[in-house]
Amino acid sequence: MPEAKARITAWLEANGVGQGTVTYRLRDWLFSRQRYWGEPFPIVYGEDGAPVALPDSLLPVELPDVPDYAPRTFAPDDVTSAPEPPLGRNEEWVNVTLDLGDGPKTYRRETNTMPNWAGSCWYYLRYLDPADQQEAVSPELERYWLGPEHNPGAGKAGGVDLYVGGVEHAVLHLLYARFWHKVLFDLGHVSALEPFHTLFNQGYIQAYAYTDARGQYVTAAEVEEHVSDSGETTYTWHGEPVNREYGKMGKSLKNVVTPDEMYEQYGADTFRVYEMSMGPLDMSRPWETRAVVGSQRFLQRLWRNVVDEATGDVVVVDEAPDDATLRLVHRTIADVTVEMEHMRPNTAIAKLITLNNHLTGLASVPRAAVEPLVLMTAPIAPHIAEELWKRLGHDASLAHEPFPVADPAYLVEETVTCVVQVQGKVRARLEVPPSIAEDALRELALADENVQRNLDGRGAHGDRARAEARQRRPGLTPGRRSRCHPCPGDRAPRRRPGSQPGRVRHARARAAAPQGGAARRRAPVADLQPGSRHRPDGADARRGRGPARGGARRRPRRRPG
| Per-residue model confidence (pLDDT) at position 461 | 52
Spatial CA neighbour of 272 closest among 240, 302, 298: 298
Instruction: State the pairing for strand pair 205-211/285-286.
Output: parallel
Top pLDDT among 117 and 123 is at 123
In this predicted structure, what is the pLDDT of residue 433?
A: 85
The Cα 487–Cα 493 span in angstroms is 10
DSSP assignments along 497-541, one per residue: TTPPS---EEEEE----SSTTT--EEEEEEEE-SS--B-TTS-BT
Question: pLDDT: is 490 or 223 the higher one?
Answer: 223
Considering only residues 23 and 508, tell me which one the structure prediction assigns the higher pLDDT.
23
Report the alpha-carbon distance of residue 453 to residue 528 in Å, rounded.
12
Q: What CA–CA distances, in Å, run from 183 to 28, 126, 194, 196, 449?
A: 20, 16, 11, 15, 78
Question: Which residue has better confidence, 205 or 514?
Answer: 205
Give the per-residue SS3 of 15-67.
CCCCCCCCCCCCCCCCCCECCCCCCECCEEECCCCCEEECCHHHCCCCCCCCC
For residue 89, what pLDDT is reported? 84
pLDDT at 554 > cutoff 60: no
CA 40 vs CA 52, 72, 93, 256: distances in Å: 14, 18, 11, 29
List the Cα angle 489/432/490 in 5-degree steps: 10
175 CB neighbour count, 10 Å cutoff: 13
Contacts of 314 (CB under 8 A, 6+ apart): 306, 307, 308, 391, 392, 393
pLDDT at residue 319 greater than cutoff 90? yes
Residue 123: pLDDT band (50, 70, 90) is very high
Mean pLDDT of the chain: 81
Q: What secondary structure letter does DSSP report for 321?
A: P
- Most trustworthy range by pLDDT among 304-318, 446-460, 477-491, 535-549: 304-318
Q: Is 305 exposed, middle or buried, given 0-12, 13-18 or 19+ CB atoms closer than 10 A? A: buried
Given strand 505-509, what is the order of strands in its sheet? 425-432, 416-422, 521-528, 505-509
Kindly report, residue by residue over 363-388, the tens digit of the pLDDT.
999 999 999 999 999 999 999 999 99
* Residue 37 to residue 50: CA distance in whole angstroms: 25
Task: Give me the pLDDT at residue 209, please.
Answer: 92
Q: How many CB atoms lie within 10 A of CB 34?
A: 17
509 vs 418: CA distance, rounded Å = 9
29: pLDDT confidence band, cut at 50, 70 and 90?
low
State how far Cα 270 lies from the chain centre: 16
pLDDT higher than threshold 60 for residue 353 = yes
- Interaxial angle between packed helices 382-391 and 367-377, expressed in degrees from 0 to 180 and rounded to the nearest 10: 150
The answer to whether 528 and 420 are in contact (CB under 8 A) is: yes
CA distance 101 to 464: 107
DSSP-derived pairing of the beta strands 416-422 and 199-202: unpaired
| Percentage of residues of the chain with pLDDT beyond 70 | 80
CA distance 432 to 439: 13
Between 260 and 535, residue with greater pLDDT: 260
Q: pLDDT tens, 148-163?
A: 999 998 999 999 999 9
Q: Which amino acid is at 437?
A: A
Q: How many helices (DSSP H) and strands (DSSP E) are in the chain?
A: 16, 16
Instruction: Determine the average pLDDT of the residues in 472-490.
Output: 37
Q: Average pLDDT, stretch 21-47? A: 81
Burial of residue 196 (number of CB atoms within 10 Å: 0-12, 13-18, 19+) = buried
- The confidence score (pLDDT) of residue 416 equals 84
Which residues on adjacent β-strands are paired with residue 248?
Answer: 206
Please give the residue that has the higher pLDDT: either 169 or 406: 406
* Residue 458: pLDDT band with limits 50, 70, 90: low
Average pLDDT of the residues in 409-431: 87
pLDDT higher than 80, residue 125: yes
Has residue 1 got a pLDDT over 90?
no
Backbone angles phi, psi at 335, to 5 degrees: -70, -45
Q: Give the per-residue pLDDT at 332.
A: 97
Higher pLDDT, 126 or 532: 126
Lowest model confidence (mean pLDDT) among 27-36, 82-91, 195-204: 27-36
Q: What share of the chain has pLDDT > 90, as a percent?
A: 51
**Residue 487 vs residues 491, 514, 523: alpha-carbon distances, Å:** 7, 19, 6
H or E segment and range at residue 452: helix 449-455
Q: What pLDDT is attached to residue 557?
A: 54
Question: Which of 427, 484, 418 minimizes the C-alpha distance to 454?
Answer: 427
pLDDT of 539 reads: 42
Greatest Cα pair distance in the chain: 121
> Which amino acid type is present at position 38?
G
Evaluate if pTM is beyond 0.85. no
Distance of alpha carbon 459 from alpha carbon 531, whole angstroms: 7
Residue 142 has pLDDT above 60, yes or no: yes
Structure confidence at residue 474 (pLDDT): 36
pLDDT at 233 over 90: yes
Mean pLDDT of 390-412: 94
Query: Which tens digit of pLDDT belongs to each residue from 280-289?
Result: 988 888 888 7
